[in-house]
Structure 1
Amino acid sequence: MGRKVLFFGDVGIDDTVALIYAYLSNDIDVIGIVACYGNVSKKQTTRNVRYLLEKIGRTDIPVMGGAEKPMTGEVPVFYPDVHGPQGLGPISPPPANALALENFFEVIGIIEKYSDLVIVNVGRMTSLATLFLLYPDTMKSINSFYIMGGAFNVPGNVTPSAEANFYADPVAANIVMRYAENVFLYPLNVTQNAIVTPGMVNYINRKDRTHLLKPLLDYYYEEFYKKKVPGIEGAPVHDALTLMGVREGKMCEFYRTAVAVEISGEARGLSIGDFRKTFDPHDFDGRPIHSVAISLDYLSFYKSFMGTMSGDEF
């Protein structure tokens, strides 16, 4: 079995692609999923997670209900134009799977059970931040964190300056960046380059054991990215790239810097890092130093994604 991963997500299309990658990989063992609001509501995320686990025959993986709204106290905004009305593009999970979960603190038992646990967070950071506020000593036992969030020195995807996960709950994002240790952060400026083309999707589909990837990624590309980003050759799998980092550490180049998040105002959700090479990166408000991905070796991504998803050698 592979590295033990506790997965936090607002399971839409690219979260599902990430979990399928983990399922097909021998190097990643998802031992729990925290279902949170984000792309869709917490209730819908729970339904989507249960549907996926049934499809891949892994209903043994525990599912825990995470946050329903951000720490800002605002009513969350969902984005049906991106992931579809139920978060899985053209797929509608059965209503019978829409079970609300109020068992979030079962997460602590999982954390205490595994000595080398990795947390992958690819959605809003509200649930993860809650753990740092309530169980700071317990969270020190986590081996590492792989987080999708932020946009450094590039435009955001929700506002001109902010990426969706940082923008939706900047308070939580700032808490995680302030207290988490050994973070590998995958920002929008890198994840947007993890493109899966229609040709790649068609190749995988011929051997797809889940029969989910093609409808999901075709929808993601045709109904959103092709319309919103003219000229783009496929759909970027932001969350899959982040989870792939658990086994493919050399796929990205990283820059070491502390990270802060703007909480309010016109620059809400802005990712702040110190990229001045003449300055000591440790001199940044006493914050821990994180590994921020700044470039992607696309060939390495292609080989890992295609090889794992299809089962062929690349």
Structure 2
Amino acid sequence: MRKKVLFFGDVGIDDTVALIYAFLKDKIDIVGIVADYGNAPRMETTRNVRYILQRMGRVDIKIFGGAERPMTGEVPTFYLEVHGPFGLGPIKPGLEPKELENFFEVISLIEKYKNELIIVNAGRLTSLATLFILYEGRMKNVQSYYIMGGSFLYPGNVTPVAEANFHGDPVAANIVMKYAKNVSIYPLNVTQTAIVTPEMVNYIHSKGKTQLLKPLLDYYYFQFYQKTVPGIQGSPVHDALPLIAIDREDIFTYYRSSVVIDTTDVARGQSIGDFRLIDAPESFDGRPQHRIAINLDYKEFYKEFMTVMTGEQF
């Protein structure tokens, strides 16, 4: 049976790679997409989703308009140097604005797929946190949550200690970490090592299942990472990992801990877990324990990613 997934994303380059993977993976059924601010303004991310769905022949999927700014009330920071002026590197979708599904209609999906729905959050957690604030009881009907975010005892990518999704709205991230259960987290510890090399991109491109990867990764994303991470051999596809994990949890090593997100100035967005091996409390202030991916089997990641993206067995 295909697993029902509601995807939350600030759809930029690596979100797009994640969605392409999901559309090509026969065991995943994307039943809805929530488009949030993050890599670009929400107006651009919703256009990006529509563009991707058109290119992949999946215009049947509903797009929900998510958050436009964080719960902190701040004007969000957009990382255009990473994802380009429209969020898709060199690609300009060129679509006119279109009315979106009411965000709160996602509740109907949660009810329709009761105890079956998986939520994957690959961007800021503002929209997901809003559902816990307004519909905590109904959120218990979600089977599980797969979240890309954080960095645990590992360097951040927007500050020395913070990853972009948790840093962009630490209040929302804290709410989700406190109230969500059955959560698996995919932090920079593993996503930074999920490298797709130019050779991989060229081979995928030659097989023709998608023509989007090469302009997104080789012509833009990889160039950014070469400037910021000297010696890197390719593009880290951060947001693909929680979707890959839905069917391939075996390629990760996990650790269990409650999680707190710092909301103060210097340490804003820092993800805190208890990694002591002895005398560690079971939780922080009654929070549930979450699974934190701390290691990626790159060989198995490579085989899974290439198999799905090319249609060949690796």
TM range (shorter): over 0.9
Amino acid in structure 2 at the alignment position of 1:86: F
**What count of residue pairs does the alignment treat as equivalent?**
313
Q: How does 1:43-62 map to 2 (within 5 A)?
A: 43-62=43-62
Q: How does 1:1-314 map to 2 (within 5 A)?
A: 2-96=2-96, 98-101=97-100, 103-115=102-114, 116-314=116-314
Deviations 1:90-112 (A, max 9, x none): 1100232x325361001000110
Aligned with 1:7: secondary structure? strand
Amino acid in structure 1 at the alignment position of 2:81: D
Q: Is the 8 A contact 1:281 1:289 kept in 2?
A: no
Instruction: Name the CA distance, whole Å, in 1 between partners of 2:3 and 2:222.
Output: 34
Amino acid in structure 1 at the alignment position of 2:155: P
Amino acid in structure 2 at the alignment position of 1:264: T
Deviations 1:227-286 (A, max 9, x none): 111100000000011211111111110000000000122101011000001034524221
Amino acid in structure 2 at the alignment position of 1:136: E
Amino acid in structure 1 at the alignment position of 2:309: M
Q: Is the 8 A contact 1:263 1:269 kept in 2?
A: yes
Distance 1:280 1:88, change over 3 A: same
Q: Is the 8 A contact 1:13 1:220 kept in 2?
A: no
CA shift for structure 1 position 208:
2.6
CA shift for structure 1 position 193:
0.3
Q: Is the 8 A contact 1:258 1:273 kept in 2?
A: yes
Instruction: Name the CA distance, whole Å, in 1 between partners of 2:99 and 2:171.
Output: 25
Q: Is the 8 A contact 1:71 1:126 kept in 2?
A: yes
Distance 1:3 1:266, change over 3 A: same
Distance 1:288 1:95, change over 3 A: same
Structure 1 unaligned blocks of 5 or more? none
Q: Is the 8 A contact 2:4 2:29 kept in 1?
A: yes
Q: RMSD of the TM alignment (CA)?
A: 1.1
Aligned with 1:60: secondary structure? coil
Structure 2 unaligned blocks of 5 or more? none
Instruction: Name the CA distance, whole Å, in 2 between partners of 1:249 and 1:142.
Output: 19
Q: Is the 8 A contact 1:6 1:33 kept in 2?
A: yes
Amino acid in structure 2 at the alignment position of 1:65: G
Deviations 1:71-99 (A, max 9, x none): 00000010110011111011100232x32
Aligned with 1:293: secondary structure? strand
Q: Is the 8 A contact 1:46 1:100 kept in 2?
A: no
Aligned with 1:238: secondary structure? coil
Q: Is the 8 A contact 2:150 2:188 kept in 1?
A: yes
Instruction: Name the CA distance, whole Å, in 2 between partners of 1:75 and 1:286.
Output: 32
Instruction: Name the CA distance, whole Å, in 2 between partners of 1:74 and 1:176.
Output: 19
Q: Is the 8 A contact 2:283 2:289 kept in 1?
A: no
Amino acid in structure 2 at the alignment position of 1:299: K
CA shift for structure 1 position 302:
0.4
Deviations 1:37-94 (A, max 9, x none): 0000111010000000011110000000000000000000101100111110111002
Percentage identity across paired residues of the two chains: 64
Aligned with 2:295: secondary structure? strand
Deviations 1:212-237 (A, max 9, x none): 01111113444310111110000000
Q: Is the 8 A contact 1:257 1:281 kept in 2?
A: no
**Scaled by the length of structure 2, what TM-score is found?**
0.98
Runs (4 or more) in structure 1 with deviation over 4 Å come to none
Aligned with 2:233: secondary structure? coil
Q: Is the 8 A contact 2:36 2:67 kept in 1?
A: yes
Aligned with 2:6: secondary structure? strand
Aligned with 2:81: secondary structure? helix
Instruction: Name the CA distance, whole Å, in 2 between partners of 1:211 and 1:109.
Output: 34
Aligned with 1:181: secondary structure? coil
